[in-house]
Amino acid sequence: MSIDTSKVATTNATTPAKASKSNPVGAVATYVDDRTGLATAMKKQIRKVFPDHWSFMLGEIALWSFIILLLTGVFLTLWFVPSMGETTYEGSYNQLRGIEVSEAYASTMKISFDVRGGLLMRQMHHWAAMIFVAAMMVHLLRVFFTGAHRKPRELNWVIGSLLLILGTLEGFTGYSLPDDLLSGTGIRAADGFMKASPVIGTYMSFFVFGGEFPGDSIIPRLFTVHVLLIPGILLALVGAHMLLLVYHKHTQWPGPGRTEQNVVGYPLLPIYAAKAGGFFFIVFGVVALMGATLSINPVWKFGPYDPSKVTAGSQPDWYMGWPDGALRIMPGWETHIFGVTISWNVMLPILILPVVMFLLLMMLPFIEAWITGDKRDHHILQRPRDAPTRTAFMVALMTMYGLFWAAGGNDIIAIKLHASINQITYFMRVAVFVGPVIAFFITKRWCISLQRHDREMLLHGYESGIIMRSTEGGYTERHLPISEDRAYTLTARERDEVFTPGSGVDEHGVAAKGGIGRRLDSIRAKLSATMFADNIQKPTREELEEARHHAEHEHELQAGLDHPAPGHEFDDHSLRNAGDVPLRGAHDETAGAGTGSGGSGGHHDDADDQPGGR
């Protein structure tokens, strides 16, 4: 058999071998690395391990939507004219020919009807903006429900909250640019909101609009904010968000082999990069399909902006719906002090409520850390049921948000349901306070019941659906043990500890000083008891051992009943899909045979020594 010796080393020299044929790509890479040292810096990062779970893709949807916004936005910028100067429309849309419009509106119509692919780009841009805000919101909820906002990721939570706020403002400035009747109505509402501010309101309006509303400066200024200021801040925050993600390590779901010190998953290159790249094209394709088939913001139907007109049934984009709803159901409260009118009916729902809600959102990790006193790093996620009070609190906020959002369409609801708009408004005024309380208690009790179910599964096994008849004539359902992988996942959570304030006496028996510290400790103790007191803790080691011995004894008694009765061979087929042990005697052979949800098919990063992963 002949052997090809052309690739065998012919020398024992210590100098590195070089390729016989020069590679242009390799030559460029070597040139850059010799001058920047990027290869050494990136060698570890390209092998960075990321866990794999569908819920982690929610943040990717937001990221890829942002990229689509940048790409389509560049296209639109080439033809949009940010000017409020008047011109006569002479474009392809016959119904508006000869009408005096602003140059901003005329350029928007040109993009929609005269620029090849312009309407597709406009609608893709608008749909991507809607998805961007929605994906950020859902991603934020996933992070909070799973406890990924805890130390050391509090700063990343604040950055994510700022991204949500800026994304909302970016959307508002964007759909205000065409200068059509609908967007002009929104700008006019914004002018009224600014003027509702006591003392400085009129000055703010004059500064923003360059004079009396509407002026001729607002569209150019909004354009600068929309394409330069906010996108620059968004890019910086997204970069910081991603850097902190790499620095802290990505969180992962509990499972065998997964600890607070490692990450089980796939390396960035080539696996995760390939998956992320493919997912980008999926998101791009969905947005392109929506832009091609679903009409959005048809400015030609609204017509140019006219301060004397308002579109019937006008609604802002969905992410601006909740403050609009709060404004609609707010009673007409006003106060007159020293000749100054304070419009509480505008200030509270528009100027105060959004600020309070966003500040509360950003402070949630710090409030929780203060109540629990937890100063540990957390890289293992929690299931929502494992933190009932936290989950219930966010569901209450979601309920309030949803009711405010629904109130923003009270006129549409009244028309569609043939109901009184006054009755709907009165109902919403009560529901926004009562609804969140009801949602809180229902969610908390639901989570606690799920905790109790997990505890019963750990101690007594899962319900097989098979009814056993005893010699005395009684009937009981047969329980069988869950798999070790499932048991590991259910017991991965930590025990909750209720904070108790000190006795008020120091180590020398002298009464400690009182003051605000003691009062804060008392408040913290009450909040901690509210947060943890009703939780169902996981079984202790002694309880698990006792349950195991009981199960073994029961199995010995039922050893002769392990064969199924005719017609009942597959009674438990639906349970087998959950990864639990098959029925009827097979648990002796398979109880330890599970490969573990974290150990099969992935890379195990045991030595991930990022500073945030201690």
Tens digit of each residue's pLDDT (9 = 90 or more) over 489-522: 888 888 888 888 766 555 555 655 566 877 888 8
Per-residue confidence band for 50, with pLDDT thresholds at 50, 70 and 90 = confident
Indicate the pairing of strand 334-337 with strand 263-267. Answer: unpaired
279: tokens are 């997912």
Q: How do 263-267 and 49-50 pair as beta strands? A: antiparallel
Q: Which of 400-404, 420-424, 437-441, 551-555 has the lowest mean pLDDT?
A: 551-555
The stretch 109-135 carries a mean pLDDT of 96
pLDDT score of 21: 65
**pLDDT for the residue 13:** 60
Q: Tens digits of per-residue pLDDT, 73-88?
A: 999 999 999 999 999 9
Residues 309, 181 contacting (CB under 8 angstroms) = yes
pLDDT, residue 558, reads: 62
pLDDT higher than 90, residue 394: yes
For residue 193 the two structure tokens come to 């909101």
> What per-residue confidence (pLDDT) applies to 473?
81
The H-or-E segment that residue 88 falls in is: strand 86-88
State both tokens at 356.
């309070």
Domains of the chain: 59-382 (1.20.810.10), 447-503+523-561+571-607 (no CATH)
Q: Is 325 helix (H, G, I), strand (E, B) or coil?
A: helix
pLDDT given at position 588: 40
User: Tell me: the pLDDT tens digits for 314-350?
Assistant: 788 899 999 999 999 999 898 888 878 888 999 999 9
Q: Structure pTM?
A: 0.84
pLDDT at 107: 95
Phi, psi of 590 (to 5 degrees): -115, -5
**Interval 565-589 mean pLDDT:** 47
The reported pLDDT for the residue numbered 59 is 93
Compute the average pLDDT of residues 262-284: 90
**pLDDT of 601 over the 50 cut:** no
Percent of the chain with pLDDT over 90: 51
pLDDT at 105 over 60: yes
Q: Which amino acid is at 22?
A: S
pLDDT of residue 582: 44
Q: How far apart are CA 34 and CA 80, in angstroms?
A: 44
Residue for token pair 């601006």: 320
Average pLDDT over residues 384-402: 95
Tens digit of each residue's pLDDT (9 = 90 or more) over 218-258? 999 999 999 999 999 999 999 999 999 988 889 999 988 88
- How confident is the model over 115-138, as a mean pLDDT? 96
Give the model's pLDDT for residue 12: 61
For residue 9, pLDDT over 80 is answered with no
**Cβ pair 403, 165 in contact under 8 A:** no
Q: How far apart are CA 478 and CA 102, in angstroms?
A: 76
Rounded average pLDDT over 140-149: 95
> In this model, does residue 125 exceed pLDDT 90?
yes
What's the whole-number average pLDDT of the chain? 84
Contact present, 488 and 598 (Cβ < 8 Å):
no
> What pLDDT was estimated at residue 423?
94
Judge whether residue 115 has pLDDT over 50.
Answer: yes
User: Contact, 402 vs 396, CB < 8 A?
Assistant: no
pLDDT at 212 over 80: yes
